[in-house]
């Protein structure tokens, strides 16, 4: 039975075009217990991991999806020649601000970057990385922006909590702290050496 359930779930994930959520799995397999589904998925992830094949099962954007291993991307690109997906530096900065500060209005984005972001936001929306959440009830009723589910898929993230913590600034803040505590030996620097 458990093996059967595992295979059913595997087939569902295989067929799904977007990351398949637990919710949708549960709906498709109504008789199954949610704990059994969870452990079946866990087993599937383990199996695909130990197989070390060309693709693996990953939790992304709140669901589960088969994804190819990054190291094979060159060969895949030989075959399908995808449209270039790279984002400009300005677009990445704007996207990062929206991702970390959401929900956010355009004015606040521009305040951080110090330049007009209207065109970039439009591009990000066309790319389906950013969406409008609504309007803020302040004068001018500006639009509120947030990232999409596709944003999570695009950057291989489980959920928004999975976003990496910006590093440089932590380092800088630590730097100014270490200047104050200059006399104390830092245990980190010892272990690092």
Partner 1 sequence: MIDDVYKVKVENIFEGPMDLLIHLIKKNEVDIYDIPVALITDQYLEYLEWIQAMNLDLAGDFLLMASTLAHIKSRMLLPFHGEENEEEDPRMELARPLLEYMKMKSAAEELAGRYILGEHIFTRKTGEPDFNPKSRDTFVQIGLFELVEAFKRLLDNASAAHQVNFTDDQISVKDRIAEIVEILEKRGSITFWELFFTKNDRSMIVITFLAILEMVKSAIVRVVQNTQTGSIRLFHI
Does 51 bind partner 1 (CB under 8 A)? Our answer is no
Q: Is 82 in the site for partner 1 (CB under 8 A)?
A: yes
Which one of the spans 3-11, 39-47, 152-160, 183-191 is the region binding partner 1 (CB under 8 A)? 152-160
Options 4-12, 26-34, 36-44, 163-171: segment touching partner 1 (CB under 8 A): 163-171
Nearer to partner 1, 38 or 128 (CB): 128
> 42, 156, 159, 188: which one contacts partner 1 (CB under 8 A)?
156
Q: Classify the phi-psi angles of 113: left when phi > 0, otherwise alpha if psi is within -120 to 50, otherwise beta.
A: alpha
Contact between 67 and partner 1 (CB under 8 A)? Answer: yes
Interface size with partner 1, residues (CB under 8 A): 54
Footprint of partner 1 on 12-41 (CB under 8 A) = 14, 17-18
If binding is defined by CB under 8 A, does position 135 make contact with partner 1?
A: yes
User: Rounded CA gap, 14 and 11, in Å?
Assistant: 5
**Closest alpha carbon to 160 in 60, 66, 85:** 60
Which CB atom, from 29 or from 136, has the smaller least distance to partner 1?
136
Residues 54 and 52: their CA atoms lie apart, in Å, by 7
By CB under 8 A, residue 92 contacts partner 1: yes
89 touches partner 1 (CB under 8 A): yes
Helices (H), ranges, 56-117:
73-80, 89-101, 106-113
90 sits near partner 1 (criterion: CB under 8 A) = yes
What distances in angstroms separate CA 50 from CA 23, 53, 54, 55, 60, one per listed residue? 26, 8, 12, 11, 19
From 42, 76, 159, 174, residue interacting with partner 1 (rule: CB under 8 A) = 76
Radius of gyration of the chain (CA): 22
**Bond prior to 105 in cis (omega within 30° of 0):** no
Find the Cα–Cα–Cα–Cα dihedral 45, 47, 53, 56, rounded to 10°: -10
Separation CA 74–CA 121 (nearest Å): 30
Write out the residues near partner 1 by the rule CB under 8 A: 14, 17-18, 65-70, 73, 76, 80, 82-83, 85-87, 89-90, 92-93, 95-97, 99-100, 111-116, 125, 128, 131-135, 137, 143, 153-157, 163-164, 166-169, 172, 176
């Amino acid at each position: 039975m458990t093996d059967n359930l595992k295979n059913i779930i595997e087939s569902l994930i295989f067929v799904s075009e977007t990351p398949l959520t637990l919710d949708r799995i549960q709906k498709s397999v109504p008789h199954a217990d949610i704990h059994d589904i969870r452990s079946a998925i866990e087993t599937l992830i383990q199996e695909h991991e130990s197989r070390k094949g060309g693709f693996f099962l990953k939790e992304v954007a709140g669901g589960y999806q088969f994804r190819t291993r990054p190291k094979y991307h060159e060969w895949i690109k030989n075959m399908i020649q995808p449209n270039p997906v790279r984002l400009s530096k300005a677009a990445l900065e704007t996207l990062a601000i929206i991702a970390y500060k959401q929900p956010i209005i355009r004015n606040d984005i521009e305040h951080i970057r110090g330049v007009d972001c209207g065109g970039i936001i439009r591009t990000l929306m066309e790319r389906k990385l950013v969406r409008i959440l609504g309007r803020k009830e302040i004068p001018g009723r500006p639009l509120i922006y947030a990232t999409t589910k596709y944003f999570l898929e695009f950057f291989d993230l489980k959920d928004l909590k999975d976003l990496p913590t910006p590093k440089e600034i932590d380092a800088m803040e630590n730097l100014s702290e270490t200047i104050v505590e200059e006399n104390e030996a830092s245990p980190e620097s010892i272990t690092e050496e």
